[in-house]
Structure 1
Amino acid sequence: MIRLFDISLQLNGFPIKKAKTELDKIINVPQEDYSNFIEQRKREVVNFHLKNNSFYKKLANIDSYENWCDLPVLTKQDLQKPLIQRLSNGFNLKNVFINKTSGSSGNPMVFAKDKFSHALTWADYKRLFSWYGIDFNHSLQARFYGMPLTFLANKKLRLKDFLSHRYRFNIFDLSDKGLKKITLHFKKKKFNYINGYTSNIVLLAKYLQKNNIVLADICPSLKVCVVTSEMLFEEDKMLLQKQLGIPIVNEYGSSEIGIIAFENPDGEWLVNSETLFVEIVDQNNQPVPHGKEGRILITSLDNKAHPFIRYEVGDYGILDEKSTPKKPILKKLIGRTNDVAILPSGKKSPGMTFYSITKKLFGDEGNVKEFIIKQTKSDTFEIEYTSETELTNSEINNIEKEFSNHLEPNLKYIFVRKENLERTNSGKLKQFKSYL
């Protein structure tokens, strides 16, 4: 069988065979040597960028690497300048992989990776998905991601999807009619796995539940569903497992970095220690002990074209106490650093607290399909939702009472029922947003 996926990477200048060989070498480094191995790679990538990247040299303001924690934290704001000014010597706009982030964090950004680094990312993707019997060359993917709606850009993406052995659904129409069309596709095509945004796949599962359908019954070739880009709550995971009838795998990643953590068949959320160095830090950018919450910083250990060193992805998380340098485990992903509600008392509360309380209450009824929460004033929250029927006064009173118990009293809530909720251009659902 033609290995179309690998061939398309090779033709685009991404040396996938070389990357696979390098990845195998990394994986075979013994546990007892891994800490020194990572330290050496950190030193190499920092010294490379200090020597070859004027943007990073100016930002770091040092001549050579000495102490890791003295290095600056790189933010998305630091990268809001023309890409050509951020590339290392020997790299230009024609010999690198260029992409852009979705902008769901509020700061869209164009970034670059050298071609070997990008190939290494794909080699790692292939390895992780192979744990569930998925081969990108032969397994057909049902893809729940955004897509451009203009004719030329759409056709270009459809060709790319064809070469990558995947079929992309229109996630901008998730009405019952749209979900029925999607479900019919699963009857016709032999999909092997599902990959995409959590909220879209959860909506499909709710539609299947309402119509008493288990997806694996109508599409027996399905093996696994990998959800990404949005929080996966335990109750949603249970719903997905029940209605899709296959294992649900939680992926955490970003377009500029690749996979940061991926759930293994034992249910552990393994942090990528092969191509990244991931740290959890406090307000002073110092590492916190395992088990403590902090901001997530990522270092790409192989990207020579563009520095991602101590890069703040914009999330809070906790590493498990049993983490080791070779096998770090993400215990919990808490949510975005910029999604914080500041209450009238001065108390700060992660936006995900609001979202998870509301989700639990809405889940009891099964009426509400989706919702987002917006903080419009320090004491006012707007809850937009889609539902079969409008919320009753008693349901609203119940929600307000729970908020009062968990947060503080005398907050105002405005409930707005909508036909559809506003999504980002890429199709993500931004679950909490503060306008303060």
Structure 2
Amino acid sequence: MLPLFDLSLQLNNFPMKEAKSELRKIVAFSEKEHDVFIENKKQEIVHFHLQNNPFYRELVGSKNHKIWENLPVLNKQNLQKPLLERLSKNHSLKNSYVNKTSGSSGTPFTFAKDKYCHALTWASNMYRFGWYEIDFNTSYQARFYGIPMNFIGNKKERFKDFLSHRFRFSIFDLSDAVLEGFLNHFRTKKFDYINGYTSSIVLFAKFLQKKNIVLSAICPSLKVCMVTSEMLFEEDKLLLEKQFGIPIVNEYGASELDLIAFQNKEGEWQVNSETLFVEILDENNRDVPNGTSGRIVITSLFNKAHPFIRYDIGDLGILDEKSTLQKPILKQLIGRTNDVAILPSGKKSPGLTFYYVTKSIIEDDGNVKEFLIKQTKIDTFEIEYVSETELNLEQIEKIKKAIEQYLEPNLNFIFIRKKSLERSNRGKLKQFKSML
């Protein structure tokens, strides 16, 4: 088979051969060589942007840039100005890869990568998927993603899917009739792997559970499933493993950077230390010890078109105690920094707390398909849910009790049953929203 995927990137002037060769070199470094490589790349990228990027120069100002800890932490608000004002010298919209972030953090912006940096992103994707014998040129992907609804955008994505050897399941309608259609594709196509948004793939697994079907039994070519973009909870992972009959791999990435962490064969969430440098910082921008939670701050070591140096991605996480510079392990991804509920007592609680609580109770009988929680007032929360039958008073009481136990008493809950939940224009489901 023609390596269409590599060819399509090469034709768009992404130097894949050079990128793959450089990545192979980095992966082969000894621990000592890798430490030196990271230090050199950090200094090199800062020096480059101070020389060639007025936006970054202004951000750093008169700070002593020789000391890494003195460099400013870049946030998404800094980046909400026209891209042309943020590009480096000799880089333009024409000669760079330009895209938009999904805005799942509530702060979307446009970004750029130089062509070599973007080629490295693909090389690093290919390398990690290769751990599971997936080859982008030959393996057939079942893709659970959104798709543009306008004619040209839609056709463009479908053409990209063709070149990338993948079949796209649009996730904007996930009713049983549509999922039945999905299932028929698995009966007739030889998919090698599944890739896409966690919430949609979990819904498909619940549909299979109801029909008592294990996916690998009707599609024996399936090897692995990679979920991305939304939190994967332990009980969902167990459900996916059971209903798909294949390994489930958790990936964590950001379009403006790269794959940030990818589950390795040992089940650890291995952080990308080839093209990125990841720090976990406290509110004073100081490193926290491994095993402690903090803000995930990332430096893109190769992007010369646009500075992502000490970039606060808006997520909270914990690095494992056994992490090294060459092999950092993400012990836990706690969620987004802006998904925090502020309670009447002044207590702050990550939105995921509600999600864990309600999920553990709602999951029992498989009636509730999915739900989302909105904080509408300091003491009031709306729980929107999709289910076969309405929640009864006993279930509602149980949820209220559990939330009181985890959070605090005297909170008000409004339960709203819906046909479907609102997703972002890309098809992502944001599981907790504060309207305050």
- Structures share a fold, TM > 0.5? yes
Q: How big is the shift at 1:64?
A: 6.3
Aligned to 2:428: 428
Q: How big is the shift at 1:365?
A: 2.3
State whether residues 50 and 63 of structure 1, in contact with CA within 8 Å, keep that contact through their aligned partners in structure 2: no
1:41 maps to amino acid: K
State whether residues 47 and 64 of structure 1, in contact with CA within 8 Å, keep that contact through their aligned partners in structure 2: no
**Are 2:387 and 1:387 equivalent residues in the alignment?**
yes
TM-score by length of 1: 0.99
Aligned to 2:12: 12
Q: What's the secondary structure of 1:78's corresponding residue?
A: coil
Note the 1:331-342 alignment, pairs <5 A: 331-342=331-342
| Deviation sequence 1:314-337 (CA, Å, 0-9, x none) | 100000000000000000000000
Q: How big is the shift at 1:34?
A: 2.2
Aligned to 2:44: 44
Structure-2 separation of matches of 1:62 and 1:272: 31
Structure-1 separation of matches of 2:39 and 2:190: 45
Note the 1:86-97 alignment, pairs <5 A: 86-97=86-97
Aligned to 1:406: 406
Structure-1 separation of matches of 2:104 and 2:263: 23
1:220 maps to amino acid: P
2:369 maps to amino acid: K
Structure-2 separation of matches of 1:33 and 1:170: 45
| Deviation sequence 1:316-360 (CA, Å, 0-9, x none) | 000000000000000000000000000000000000011111111
1:76 maps to amino acid: K
Aligned to 2:238: 238
Q: How big is the shift at 1:24?
A: 1.0
Q: What's the secondary structure of 2:147's corresponding residue?
A: coil
1:393 maps to amino acid: L
Aligned to 1:81: 81
Q: How big is the shift at 1:36?
A: 2.4
Aligned to 1:179: 179
State whether residues 63 and 70 of structure 2, in contact with CA within 8 Å, keep that contact through their aligned partners in structure 1: no
TM-score by length of 2: 0.99
Q: How big is the shift at 1:40?
A: 1.1
Structure-1 separation of matches of 2:378 and 2:397: 20
Q: How big is the shift at 1:63?
A: 7.4
Aligned to 2:356: 356
Q: How big is the shift at 1:278?
A: 0.4
Structure-1 separation of matches of 2:106 and 2:95: 28
Q: How big is the shift at 1:258?
A: 1.5
How many pairs does the alignment contain?
436
State whether residues 318 and 333 of structure 1, in contact with CA within 8 Å, keep that contact through their aligned partners in structure 2: yes
- Percent identity reads 67
Aligned to 2:110: 110
**Are 2:28 and 1:28 equivalent residues in the alignment?**
yes
Note the 1:298-309 alignment, pairs <5 A: 298-309=298-309
Q: What's the secondary structure of 1:427's corresponding residue?
A: coil
Q: Mark the runs of 5 or more structure 1 residues left unpaired by the alignment.
A: none
Q: How big is the shift at 1:35?
A: 2.0
Structure-2 separation of matches of 1:295 and 1:123: 27
Aligned to 2:206: 206
Q: Report the RMSD for the aligned CA atoms in angstroms.
A: 0.8
| Deviation sequence 1:177-226 (CA, Å, 0-9, x none) | 11000111111111100000000000000000000111111111100000
Note the 1:115-194 alignment, pairs <5 A: 115-194=115-194
2:233 maps to amino acid: F
1:287 maps to amino acid: D
Q: What's the secondary structure of 1:117's corresponding residue?
A: helix
1:256 maps to amino acid: E
